[in-house]
């Protein structure tokens, strides 16, 4: 099946960001894409206000997702992204949603909050407590992760052991010393840990790196983006995945018990 990752610089204005998402969805659908991954925290972003994403939080039936769900009804594609959803006064949940046919077919509240490199996501965001569900797209099982989850191998491994063949990752990967190196290394590592494809979409702009990537089960980058608005595509194959897993049966060769998540 054809998969895509779309990236752009999120603005402080949610209607503008929604229109950009709709445009990327239209472009991906024109290329017969089955699975599109968009970045993390798409409602609003302001370089001068680190809390803008939380301040702009909307319910799942709010205006932003209503526009995206309307577009989703016009194609057969599954679209994955994250938005902030209010939880209590001044706080929100970083919530991944998967859209198909105009409906939210799955959602996941980010487990691992980015309290690192002098940033404290947990100051305004409530962490999830439940491992995300797998979804099925064109007969392939897809696991769901969000940004900082990438640094925790047990998260990807738990989903692979449940049957995931593709892992999707909306992100807003913050710039910084060695951060681009970490990004590339961790994507390759998680694909090799799990022998899964990874479709990772990165928000771009002044503070985040962009650099969306589609990686195969041997850690090879099939498609990569730069730092500006872009859509990248690749074809993923269950037959190729099965061949790789026959040659590199790390999931079967494991000697430790499956990791316990929450």
Residue 121 structure tokens: 């996501």
Residues designated as active site: 40, 110, 147
How many of the other CB atoms lie within 10 Å of CB of 73?
11
- What are the start-end ranges of the E strands in 172-229? 197-202, 213-215, 221-224
CA distance 137 to 94: 23
CA 190-95-180 angle, to 5 degrees, is: 40
Strand partners, 197: 166
Counting beta carbons within 10 angstroms of the beta carbon of residue 261, is it exposed (0 to 12), middle (13 to 18) or buried (19 or more)?
A: middle
CA distance 152 to 66: 32
CA distance 112 to 101: 29
CA distance 223 to 133: 26
Question: Does residue 97 contact residue 77 with C-beta atoms inside 8 Å?
Answer: no
Residue 90 structure tokens: 């001044």
CA distance 148 to 124: 16
């Amino acid at each position: 099946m054809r998969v895509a990752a779309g990236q752009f610089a999120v603005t402080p204005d949610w209607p503008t960001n929604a229109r950009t998402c709709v445009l990327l969805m239209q472009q991906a659908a024109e290329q017969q894409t089955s699975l599109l991954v968009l970045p993390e925290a798409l409602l609003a972003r302001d370089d001068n206000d680190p809390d803008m994403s939380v301040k702009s939080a909307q319910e799942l039936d709010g205006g932003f997702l209503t526009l995206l769900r309307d577009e989703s009804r016009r194609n057969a594609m599954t679209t994955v992204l994250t938005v902030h959803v209010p939880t209590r006064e001044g706080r929100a949940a970083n919530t991944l949603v998967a859209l198909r046919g105009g409906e939210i077919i799955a959602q996941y509240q980010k487990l691992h909050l980015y309290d690192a490199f002098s940033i404290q996501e947990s100051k305004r965001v409530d962490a999830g407590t439940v491992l995300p569900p797998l979804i099925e797209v064109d007969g392939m099982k897809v696991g769901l992760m969000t940004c900082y989850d990438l640094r925790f191998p047990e998260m990807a491994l738990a989903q692979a052991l449940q049957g995931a063949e593709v892992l999707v990752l909306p992100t807003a990967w913050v710039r910084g010393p060695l951060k681009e190196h970490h990004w590339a290394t961790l994507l390759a590592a998680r694909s090799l840990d799990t022998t899964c494809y990874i479709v990772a979409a990165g928000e771009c702009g002044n503070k985040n790196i962009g650099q969306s990537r589609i990686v195969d089960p041997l850690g090879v980058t099939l498609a990569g983006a730069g730092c500006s608005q872009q859509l990248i595509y690749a074809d993923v194959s269950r037959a190729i995945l099965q061949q790789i897993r026959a040659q590199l049966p790390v999931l079967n060769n494991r000697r430790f018990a499956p990791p316990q998540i929450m």
